[in-house]
């Protein structure tokens, strides 16, 4: 029930409690179970009397509850440990005081000169590039202060940035105009510049195959067109259109090869290698529209409006020559694909289906379709000459169109898959995963993605769970342990402890970055196809 009251200052509280009420006082008197008391501070007389009364009540309750038992041992005073922590710093939504900036960015973004940077603090940091180990950076706060010192105010700096931006736009316009004038000058006086590496690409590998195909298909188109004009055969017209489509498509492939050799720029940091796939995709669409579409149209018109076919002797001769020339180009393409597939450790079928070299694939499939279409056209023209029925010739035109449509569909599918960024083979991905997991600094890897960027270039990405103890041990192995122990022993205050931890914490983070660089380098060295590696710390 409502048993006792407790006073604190001038206030009085009635507590409904079955336990000993707690008196709120500025100073505390501790009572033991044997009736003795220990004074922890001065106290008023009425407080002492209340304490003795409370002690009696508690003693009576304990005697009733613990009848026949020994008195409990004296209670120990409560000890409270206070945890010392550093004050949390508030950095705000934008904090750039500790940011580093390269000299090039300092000159471009803050409109400074190289001589202005000589007066600033220089810091050596680990380089993100493979060809250099370290490079020089500056504190962004120092650069900002120097820019204000040079330009006087943020408004003056903003005006200078705007002026330089306008000058850059004008420079680009003048550069485009000068390049056009230079091109006209070369056209007029002749280009005496030595042969470039882009031109050399057409004398070996896929470029050679494409150039041979362009020359042969161009001659085939000319002679087939003459044969069609002389005979009026629908199959011969389909063959002429087929050769024209092949010539145009292979010229497009040559353009794609030359564009793919361009060096990467800020707008295209990964280069232009996909231009071969784009050219091959357009080529497949062109085969479907020009080759298959016109062949189907001419075959259907021949069925609807048949007309007699003239002498086919010259047509047979031209078809025979076309068969020999197309076969020669086909052999060149087959030999090139075999050589490339052997170098990659793939079979001939795998190399073609995976579209490893789209330009050579187009030549291979176009020439294979050309050889088959010559056989189909010759067969249908022979049936027409034997039976005198022109319907066979129109059916041959439809057959050639169907063959070209099949080839174009395959080219569109394979090149679209390559442009979408398909994954590499599971076996190759497993080798990359095992290489990372076997390293002692890696605990586990997650979210592994390896994308084929085309032309045997792979981009690898993974979330890596690093072992912090191994990284720290690697850092300690490079330190003087005796000196490190002396630094620890000299730490006496929180400020000294903070400085010690910040110093070695930053060094351990640098060590972790060096481990990431080492893993990326190992992946590239053991797998030459891997060109870009993104390891994210989990």
Going by the DSSP 8-state scheme, the letter that residue 83 receives in this structure is P
The predicted structure's pLDDT at residue 47: 43
User: Which range is most confident: 4-18, 239-253, 262-276, 426-440?
Assistant: 426-440
Closest CA to 233 of 118, 125, 117, 311: 311
Closest C-alpha among 284, 235, 211, 242 to residue 393? 235
Question: Helices 234-260 & 358-387, crossing angle to 10 degrees?
Answer: 170
Which helix (H) or strand (E) is 280 found in, with range? helix 275-286
pLDDT of residue 368: 86
Cα 425 to chain centroid distance, Å, stands at 18
Rounded CA separation 164/157 (Å): 11
**Res 460 pLDDT > 90:** yes
* Residue range 146-170: mean pLDDT, rounded: 89
Domains of the chain, earliest start first: 100-189 (3.90.530), 200-420 (1.20.1510.10), 426-537 (3.30.70.1350)
Structure tokens at 510: 């640098």
- pLDDT-derived band at 508 (thresholds 50, 70, 90) equals very high
379-404: average pLDDT: 84
pLDDT higher for 174 or 73?
174
Q: How many CB atoms lie within 10 A of CB 408?
A: 26
99, 221, 334, 363, 367 from 349: Cα distances, Å: 53, 30, 11, 15, 17
Write down the mean pLDDT value for the chain.
Answer: 77
pLDDT at 317 over 50: yes
What pLDDT sits at residue 39? 46
126 vs 135: CA distance, rounded Å: 7
Taking each helix axis from N to C end, the angle separating 234-260 and 275-286, rounded to the nearest 10 degrees, works out to: 170
Find tokens 């031209």 and name the residue: 318
Place 199 in a pLDDT band, splitting at 50, 70 and 90. Answer: low
Find tokens 């022979």 and name the residue: 382
CA distance 30 to 60: 18
Q: Indicate the range of 87-101, 191-205, 351-365, 514-528 predicted with least confidence.
A: 191-205
Residue 224 tokens, joined: 């087939």
Q: Which residues contact 96 (CB under 8 A, 6 or more apart)?
A: 140, 141
Question: Is residue 307 classed exposed, middle or buried when 0-12, 13-18 and 19+ CB atoms within 10 A define those classes?
Answer: exposed
CB 117 within 8 A of CB 103: yes
Q: Per-residue pLDDT averaged across 133-142, rounded? A: 85
The predicted pLDDT at position 223 comes to 84
**275: pLDDT strictly greater than 90:** no
Residue 40, pLDDT score: 42
Q: Could you give the CA distance from residue 488 to residue 500 in angstroms, rounded to a whole number?
A: 8
Q: Report the pLDDT averaged over residues 519-525.
A: 91
What is residue 1's three-state secondary structure?
A: coil
Average pLDDT estimate for 367-391:
83
The pLDDT score that the predictor gives to residue 461 is 93
Q: What is the pLDDT of residues 80-120, one digit of tens each?
A: 665 556 666 776 677 777 788 888 888 888 899 888 888 88
Spatial CB neighbours of 24, under 8 Å, sequence gap ≥ 6: 6, 8
Question: Distance (Å, rounded) from C-alpha 316 to C-alpha 390?
Answer: 16
SS3 414: helix
Cα 142-147-153 angle, rounded to 5 deg: 125
Q: What's the distance, CA 440 to chain centroid?
A: 25
Q: How many CB atoms lie within 10 A of CB 447?
A: 10
Backbone angles phi, psi at 268, to 5 degrees: -135, 75
More confident residue, 190 or 456: 456
How deeply is 464 buried, as exposed, middle or buried, from its count of CB atoms within 10 A (0-12, 13-18, 19+)? buried
Please give the Cα distance from 477 to 469 (Å, whole number).
12
Alpha-helical segments (H) within 391-467: 391-420, 426-437
Task: Name the most confidently modeled range: 168-177, 188-197, 502-511.
Answer: 502-511
Tell me the pLDDT band of 516, cut-offs 50, 70 and 90. very high
Q: What percent of the chain stands above pLDDT 90? A: 11
pLDDT at 213: 83
Q: Decide: 300 and 382 in contact? Cβ < 8 Å.
A: no
How long a stretch of residues is the chain? 538
E strand map for 28-92: 29-31, 37-39
- The structure tokens listed for 471 are 């990284």
């Amino acid at each position: 029930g409502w048993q006792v009251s407790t006073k604190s200052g001038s206030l009085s509280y009635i507590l409904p409690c079955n336990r000993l009420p707690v008196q709120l006082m500025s100073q505390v008197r501790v009572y033991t179970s044997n009736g003795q008391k220990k004074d922890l501070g001065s106290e008023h007389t009425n407080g002492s009397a209340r304490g003795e009364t409370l002690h009696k009540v508690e003693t009576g309750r304990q005697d009733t509850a613990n009848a026949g038992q020994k008195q409990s041992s004296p209670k120990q005073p409560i000890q409270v440990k206070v945890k010392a922590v550093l004050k949390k710093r508030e950095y705000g939504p934008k904090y750039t005081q500790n940011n580093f900036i390269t000299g090039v960015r300092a000159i471009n973004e803050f409109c400074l000169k190289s001589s202005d940077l000589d007066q600033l603090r220089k810091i050596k940091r680990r380089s993100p590039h493979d060809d250099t180990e370290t490079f020089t950076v500056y504190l962004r706060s120092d650069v900002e202060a120097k820019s204000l010192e040079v330009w006087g105010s943020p408004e003056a700096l903003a005006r200078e940035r705007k002026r330089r931006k306008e000058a850059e736009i004008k420079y680009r316009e003048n550069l485009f105009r000068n390049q056009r004038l230079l091109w006209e000058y070369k056209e007029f006086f002749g280009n005496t510049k030595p042969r470039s590496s882009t031109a050399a690409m057409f004398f070996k590998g896929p470029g050679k195959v494409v150039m041979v195909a362009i020359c042969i298909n161009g001659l085939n188109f000319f002679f087939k067109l003459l044969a069609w004009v002389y005979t009026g055969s629908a199959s011969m017209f389909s063959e002429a259109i087929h050769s024209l489509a092949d010539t145009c498509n292979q010229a497009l492939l040559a353009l794609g090869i030359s564009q793919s050799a361009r060096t990467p720029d800020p707008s295209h940091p990964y280069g232009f290698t996909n231009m071969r796939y784009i050219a091959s995709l357009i080529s497949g669409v062109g085969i479907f529209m020009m080759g298959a579409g016109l062949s189907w149209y001419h075959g259907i018109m021949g069925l609807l409006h048949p007309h007699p076919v003239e002498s086919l002797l010259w047509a047979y001769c031209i078809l025979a020559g076309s068969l020999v020339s197309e076969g020669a180009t086909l052999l060149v393409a087959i030999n090139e694909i075999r050589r490339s597939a052997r170098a990659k450790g793939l079979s001939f079928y795998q190399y073609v289906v995976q579209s490893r070299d789209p330009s050579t694939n187009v030549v291979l499939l176009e020439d294979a379709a050309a050889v088959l279409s010559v056989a189909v056209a010759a067969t249908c023209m022979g049936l027409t000459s034997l039976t005198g029925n022109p319907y066979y010739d129109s059916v041959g035109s439809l057959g050639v169109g169907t063959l070209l449509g099949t080839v174009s569909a395959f080219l569109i599918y394979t090149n679209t898959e390559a442009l979408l960024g398909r994954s590499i083979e599971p076996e190759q991905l497993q080798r990359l995963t095992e290489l990372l997991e076997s390293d002692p600094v890696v605990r586990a890897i997650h979210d592994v993605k390896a994308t084929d960027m085309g032309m045997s270039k792979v981009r690898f990405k993974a979330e890596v769970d690093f072992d912090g103890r191994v990284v720290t041990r690697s850092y300690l192995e490079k330190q003087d342990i005796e000196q490190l122990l002396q630094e620890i022993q000299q730490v006496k205050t929180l400020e000294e402890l903070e400085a010690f931890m910040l110093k070695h914490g930053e060094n351990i983070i640098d060590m972790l970055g060096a481990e990431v660089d080492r893993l990326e380098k190992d992946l590239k060295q053991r797998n030459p196809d891997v060109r870009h590696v993104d390891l994210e710390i989990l």
